[in-house]
Amino acid sequence: MAIRVHHLNCISTCPLGGRLMDGRSRTVLERGHLACHCLLVETPDCLVLVDTGFGLLDVADPKTRLSRFFLTLLRPEFREQMTAVRQVERLGFNAADVRHILLSHLDFDHAGGLDDFPRATVHMLAREREHALQQRSWLDRQRFRPQQWSSQPRWRTYEPDSGGRWHGFEGVRSPDGLPPEILLVPLPGHTHGHAGIAIDAGERWKFLAADAYFHIGEMEATPGCPPGLRFYQWMMELDRDARLHNQDRLRALCRDARDIDVFCSHDIAEFELLSGRSARLPGEGFMDH
């Protein structure tokens, strides 16, 4: 059986600034709309989840799980049916079928659903785990939420110098226990251990670049990004030079590799193009083969 891929939006965020943040809203006075683009991958042996978005416990009690700062700034659109675990079930699977989770990074809007898959091994870059656990700065403590990390005993980490090359990216490897068609690709900058995930889905590769960029316009030959979203990226970056360098490399990949779909975690247009449905609807049926 070939690898098959679902595109899941695991709870949108609605940031202050409207059009300044998403480039789509009517005004700057309303809330914007950003996706939380995750992937459900069906392999011959098991299901693999790529990022988890917000989880059931985030929906049930956000004030104990998430920071007041980000709850106010982003106002997530908490709907239980949009959590990864409920979308997995909607697609006819059981949460126990998800044996592996590949995590791009440990920000609260990517790791919130880890608790919902208690049998899954969680794969990430070693530097991401190390930095998140240190909780060095005020912003680190707002973005990295240990309340979401009951899965820590099942975390498996990788050093970036232990892998090979993929389309010019170094330190790339297939995580333990997963087929070679699924790759963890270091993309530091947004966080120190930030990674993208590349999946060979047959005729085309799917490459979730996560938060290496935030808006589809940033991959154009002449890059563009709504000003509020550009400021948000600056606020959240931990290594500016690395982030901008990786954006340059991703633009080159978009230009030169015609068999790779490159997309980020938060752009609504990218999500709706690849999923074939509104970002406000849960997953239903396989779109990719």
pLDDT tens, 77-127? Answer: 999 999 999 999 999 999 999 999 999 999 999 999 999 999 999 999 999
- On average, the pLDDT of the chain sits at 95
- Beta-bridge mates of residue 50: 39, 102
Cα 230 to Cα 266: distance, rounded to the nearest angstrom: 13
pLDDT tens readout for residues 51-86: 999 999 999 999 999 999 999 999 999 999 999 999
Closest CA to 218 of 193, 171, 253: 253
Question: Would the pLDDT of 217 be above 80?
Answer: yes
Tell me the average pLDDT across 227-246. Answer: 98
Question: Would the pLDDT of 289 be above 50?
Answer: no
- pTM for this prediction: 0.95
Question: Would the pLDDT of 218 be above 80?
Answer: yes
Cα 105 to Cα 111: distance, rounded to the nearest angstrom: 8
Question: Would the pLDDT of 178 be above 50?
Answer: yes
Closest CA to 71 of 79, 84, 80, 62: 62
The pLDDT value given to residue 42? 96
The pLDDT value given to residue 1? 57
The pLDDT value given to residue 203? 86
The pLDDT value given to residue 285? 57
Q: Return the residue matching tokens 């009951």.
A: 150
Supply 210's token pair.
């996560």
The pLDDT value given to residue 183? 97
Using an 8 Å Cβ cutoff, are 250 and 195 in contact? no
HEC string for the chain = CCCEEEEEECCCECCCCCHHHHCCCCCCCCCCCECCEEEEEECCCCEEEECCECCHHHHHCHHHHCCHHHHHHHCCCCCHHHCHHHHHHHCCCCHHHEEEEECCCCEHHHHCCHHHCCCCEEEEEHHHHHHHHHCCCHHHHHHECHHHCCCHHHEEEECHHHCEEECCEEEEECCCCCCCCEEEEECCCCCCCCEEEEEECCCCEEEECHHHCCCHHHHCCCCCCCHHHHHHHHHHCCCHHHHHHHHHHHHHHHHHCCCEEEECCCCHHHHHHHHCCCCCCCCCCCCCC
pLDDT tens readout for residues 130-144: 999 999 999 999 999
The pLDDT value given to residue 288? 42
Using an 8 Å Cβ cutoff, are 180 and 191 in contact? no
Could you tell me the pLDDT band of residue 2, with boundaries at 50, 70 and 90?
A: confident
Give the pairing of strands 47-50 and 98-102: parallel
The pLDDT value given to residue 229? 97
Question: Would the pLDDT of 157 be above 70?
Answer: yes
Q: Return the residue matching tokens 């709706």.
A: 272
Question: Would the pLDDT of 258 be above 60?
Answer: yes
The pLDDT value given to residue 162? 78
The pLDDT value given to residue 171? 95
